[in-house]
Amino acid sequence: MIMEHLPKLQTKNIVLASQSPRRREILTLMGLPFTPVPSQFEENLDKSSFKSPRDYVMANAHGKAADVAASQTDYDLVIGSDTVVVLDGKVLEKPKSEGEAFRMLAQLSGRQHTVATGVSLIAKGDTTRTFAEETSVWFAHLSDDVIGAYIKTGEPMDKAGAYGIQGRGGALVRRIEGCYFTVMGLPMHALAREIAELCKEHLL
């Protein structure tokens, strides 16, 4: 796993193609040094052109990573990521208004949905590894008052599916099946596995 490679990774220039505080927190928990560089990739891909939400988030993740890699003159690894909530096959991203946030949360109430997170790694020399992880999430039944009170906290407005499992939104979640960090925005185990493979193959 990645543990034995951490001393070597401490000497690498790792770039996170995101300004997400949640993704920064996960990389910090992993013990990885990194520099956050927000991507300018325009997330306007046509969802209907992809076979599945997995393919969609992988394409977005790669777009973000490639955009940042093109702007950097000296890096060893760029990490791009994208997360969506999927309900009944429909992709739910960040709400554009409080009304949309309310509708999303009302749809998720008392039901199971899937969170898909895509990750794209671009190592020096243009070696690319792109993958996705999915986690099933079950919500409790939410009254209109609960949804309204949660929206008033402001937390839903920059979150896919209008909730953050690592914050107050965690109280809405009855159970999950899969990786918690996938829901948070960056699947720690899968990311560690892929970075370790790059190290073993002397690509990082």
Q: Which residues are catalytic?
A: 82
Cα diameter, the chain: 54
CA distance 111 to 23: 26
Q: How far is CA 109 from the centre of its chain?
A: 22
- Measured CA to CA, the distance from residue 11 to residue 198 in angstroms comes to 15
**Residue 54 C-beta-side C-alpha neighbours within 13 Å:** 7
Q: How far is CA 33 from the centre of its chain?
A: 18
**Tokens, residue 167:** 């914050």
The DSSP 8-state label assigned to residue 89 in this structure reads: T
Nearest to 58 by CA among 73, 69, 47: 47
